[in-house]
Amino acid sequence: TRRFMSIRKITNVSFNAWQKDSSGNMKRTLNYTIAINNPLIGKFSAVTETQTLYKESRDGRYYLLDSEVFTHDVPYHDYFYTITRYYIESLSKRKCRLRVYTDVKYRKPTWGLVKS
């Protein structure tokens, strides 16, 4: 985990413990700062990530986790966020399969961006 965060230049990490929500899923929120390599935006952005571990997950067999990521210091950050679904499936004692799906979700219509 530390190596991954170092490579991605993630700093100032804080997170809550997993909590059960009203649907029976487990949730937690992470806050961190990520380095951005774009001269037009700035060098860093604050990030809020909400992770949901679904109750359908079965320990040792498979896990289904969604991660919603909101970046706060990039242009038009209030128009969109990303959601990534991780499906981790045990194939044997020493082997698993990881499937990753990602999508951009829009919170506001983007026509204003096109017009201006």
Nearest CA among 25, 99, 40, 104 for reference residue 71: 104
pLDDT the model gives residue 42: 78
- Percent of the chain having pLDDT more than 90? 66
H or E element at residue 72: none
Q: pLDDT for 61-71, tens place per residue? A: 999 999 999 99
Inter-residue contact 69 to 82 (CB < 8 Å): yes
Q: How much is the mean pLDDT over the chain?
A: 90
Full domain range(s) for residue 111: 2-115
Nearby residues of 22 by Cβ (< 8 Å), 6 or more positions away: none
Question: Per the structure, how many domains does the chain have?
Answer: 1
pLDDT the model gives residue 56: 92
Q: Is 2 left (phi over 0), alpha (psi -120 to 50) or beta?
A: alpha
Q: pLDDT for 35-48, tens place per residue? A: 988 777 778 999 99
Nearest CA among 30, 32, 107, 39 for reference residue 76: 107
